[in-house]
Amino acid sequence: NVLVIETYANTVLTVPAFNLAGLDANQITKVNVDLSTAQNNARQWLNVIKPGLIYLNQDVINFSNRYATYSDTLKDAVDMKDKAKLADGLKRLAANAANYEQKAKEKVTQ
């Protein structure tokens, strides 16, 4: 759940300094390293991953809208047996899908 992850990330980033005086040096180092890792992961979620997911979700909606727009034209081309119009519409739709696919791959590999 996005809300749970966001709450966790914000909590990790606002953890106050706490007293580690009762621990030995190795334990203090481990706690500090683990906290730093958690904070870096939290920043990655808040600044990169979550915005990327929102962007990808919007692209899915945009493609769905584009498909809905093309569907009537494609149906008309089929009904009229207009192969050229059908091929052109399918090529445009496929190019649009390829563009969204490329953008999704770029977001996933960030």
Q: What is the pLDDT of residue 8?
A: 95
- d(CA 95, CA 93) in angstroms, rounded, equals 5
pTM: 0.69
Tokens 């809208």 identify what position? 65
Q: What is the pLDDT of residue 82?
A: 96
Q: Which helix (H) or strand (E) holds 92?
A: helix 83-108
CB 35 within 8 A of CB 9: no
Helices of type H across 16-110 = 25-44, 50-79, 83-108
Per-residue pLDDT of the chain (110 residues; tens, 9 = 90+): 889 999 999 999 999 878 888 899 999 999 999 999 999 999 999 999 999 889 889 999 999 999 998 899 999 999 999 999 999 999 999 999 999 999 888 887 77
- d(CA 69, CA 87) in angstroms, rounded, equals 16
